[in-house]
């Protein structure tokens, strides 16, 4: 079954960072097996990474902000590459979520909803200065979970 795995969260909560970590993990774990179709992933900002693994096309699309045309981007990925698996980002509600649902229904994709891990820090928290380190660790952990899920889905 074709699947879209959606990282759903509010703005600035690690969606793109987590997807970037997933992309790095794919390149690190499968250097001989991965056939990248576009390999221009920058350290900052949204990106798209499409690769072929075990004969299946997989895409990582981080652009999921309101007004980003996420549905058009997903249709483009499905049309150009016939992706079997797509990872993408959306907000928690609104047009981006609706767009993914419409795409999945029209193109017969199953949706797996997920989110990034979240940390709540309070105004006077003594650990507030550690926020960046915690977010990086949690984004890397979530990426490993997504990587495991990708492998599980590809085996079916």
- Cβ neighbour number for residue 107 with a 10 Å cutoff: 16
Model pLDDT for residues 44-84, shown as the tens digit of each residue: 778 888 888 888 889 999 888 787 889 999 999 999 889 99
DSSP state, 124? T
To which residue do tokens 């794919």 refer? Answer: 26
Nearest Cα neighbor of 60 from 99, 4, 117 is: 4
Q: What pLDDT, on a 0 to 100 scale, did the predictor assign at position 123?
A: 55
Q: Which domain holds residue 121?
A: 3-155
User: What CATH number corresponds to the domain at position 63?
Assistant: 3.40.50
Structure tokens at 140: 């890397």
Count of the separate structural domains present in the chain:
1
Q: How far is CA 101 from the centre of its chain?
A: 16
The H or E element spanning position 25 is helix 15-29
Model pLDDT for residues 96-105, shown as the tens digit of each residue: 999 999 999 9
pTM of the predicted protein model = 0.86
Model pLDDT for residues 110-144, shown as the tens digit of each residue: 999 999 987 766 555 565 555 556 778 899 999 99
């Amino acid at each position: 079954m074709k699947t879209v795995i959606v990282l759903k969260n509010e703005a600035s909560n690690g969606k793109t960072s987590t997807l970037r970590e997933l992309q790095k993990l794919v390149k690190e774990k499968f250097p001989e097996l991965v056939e990248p179709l576009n390999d221009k992933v920058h350290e900052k900002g949204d990106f798209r990474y499409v690769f072929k693994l075990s004969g299946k096309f997989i895409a990582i699309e981080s652009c999921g902000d309101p007004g980003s045309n996420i549905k058009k981007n997903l249709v483009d990925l499905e049309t150009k590459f016939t992706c079997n698996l797509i990872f993408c980002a959306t907000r928690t509600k609104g047009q981006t979520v609706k767009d993914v649902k419409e795409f999945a229904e029209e193109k017969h994709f199953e949706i797996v909803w997920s989110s990034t891990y979240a940390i709540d820090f309070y105004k006077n928290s003594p650990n507030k200065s550690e926020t960046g380190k915690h977010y990086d660790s949690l984004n890397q952990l979530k990426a490993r979970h997504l990587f495991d899920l990708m492998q599980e889905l590809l085996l079916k």
